[in-house]
Amino acid sequence: MADNQVDKDPSKHHLHSDVAPPKVARGLEGIVAAATQIAEVDGERGKLTLRGYDISELSGCVSFEEVCYLLWHGKLPNRAELDDLRQHMSASRELPAPVMAALHELAPHAGGMHMVRIGASMLSIDDPDVDNLAPESCRKRAIRLQSQMASIVAHSYRLKTGRPIVQPKPEHGLAQGFLYMLDGQEPDEARTQGLNSYFVAVCEHGLNASTFTGRVVISTNSDMVSALTAAVCSLKGPRHGGVPGPVLKMLNEIGSPEKTEAYIRKEISEGRRIMGFGHRIYKVRDPRGALLSDAAEKMAELTGDRQLLDLAKSVEETTVRVLAEVKPGRDLYANVELFAALILHAVDVPSELFTPCFAIGRTAGWIAHMIEQLEETKIIRPESVYIGPRDLKFTPIDERD
């Protein structure tokens, strides 16, 4: 082995010959790093539970604001509690003047998740109590951060596309207000319901990469804005939150149900991934996909347009069948991204904003995990095993190759 090469087998690199090398869990797979009361993800049965409620129990029955309250407080709100939450969310949407000035300056030069990252990092401005980690302070801040994330996404996009800012109406809920800020027109019921269903579906999903990142940051007793920004940075990676856009591109390329099988077989034969299928946890159909599929059916009933929905269903049926044939035993089924792309497109959200919209919905779960992590007393600090060279000798700079 050359001097500058490293053998990545940890069993050949340990400090003492009489000490067994530690087993390395690549990607922390199989490692339990937190005990949580927030969500349970059951990959074998295809169940997602939020604070004890199967998500199918909540689908179509609750607003996104109700789910936020559930995640942050551990129970569904009563009428007075929900009205109070909505009132405070509405009053918290406006961004501080320095943040707006920065968005005006920066939005023409950046977009998508880059602007979400920049915007999230500025949400500590005008918060003199930002380092207060007391539970009630965190829950109060949660309302503001959730509301302002939607404002950042909508305002940045309008500025980037050369249009003036539109402020939502006081009576607008989060989904309705976001759509109003985005295009400046009162959204119809179908669009509002569709986006509300999307936010509910993606609000929380256990200890995924971005949620874990947020918990790591807050475990240092940093502040919620820093943890939120770190979570956004993790979500930006296409291996985590960047799939719905390519799903829509795939559906457009297929075009019609009768062309599905030929397209899928060609993609598989050429070694390309089928977007919207397969999940690290789920061995059956993603329950969030079922939720969004039902939401898409309701939208189609209201709008009368089901062309893309029928195509997506054909793609799901055909792809599952073909994957079972060519990759037997892999348990590859539709995941949340297939119908997330469909819903976001149906409510007229630009594809550039698919992942930013995911960030708006997932902020609710990130915040819940931050609040829960602050109850812990230990910083998250896993160990590593060194697999690099040993016993190298220093060489003066003029004697090095």
Quick one: pLDDT at residue 5?
A: 44
- pLDDT tens digits for 181-203? 999 999 999 999 999 999 999 99
Q: Please identify every stretch of the chain with a pLDDT value under 70, giving residue numbers as ranges.
A: 1-20, 241-244
- Can you read off the two tokens belonging to residue 305? 């347009």
Q: Which of the residues are catalytic?
A: 279, 337
The single residue listed with the structure tokens 């997506």 is 312
CA atoms of 5 and 219, how far apart (whole Å): 36
Q: Sheet with 39-42: list strands edge to edge.
A: 39-42, 47-50, 53-54
Give 68's strand partners: none
Q: Tell which residue, 231, 213, 225, has the closest CA to residue 380.
A: 213
Angle between helices 307-326 and 244-254 (to 10 degrees): 100
Output the CA angle 202-103-122, nearest 5 degrees. Answer: 65
Cα dihedral: 185, 191, 192, 197 (round 10) = -150
d(CA 314, CA 256): 9
pLDDT tens, position by position, 379-388: 999 989 898 9
In this predicted structure, what is the pLDDT of residue 1?
40
Cβ neighbourhood burial of 36 (10 Å; 0-12, 13-18, 19+) = middle
Q: What per-residue confidence (pLDDT) applies to 27?
A: 81
Beta bridge partners of 54: 49
Other CB atoms within 10 Å distance of the CB of residue 52: 12
CB-hemisphere CA count at 13 Å for 80?
Answer: 0
pTM over 0.85, yes/no: yes
Kindly report the CATH number that applies to the domain delimited by 64-238+352-373: 1.10.580.10
Q: How far apart are CA 153 and CA 359, in angstroms?
A: 9
Q: What is each CA distance from 369 to 210, 217, 222, 314, 318, in whole angstroms?
A: 11, 11, 14, 37, 38
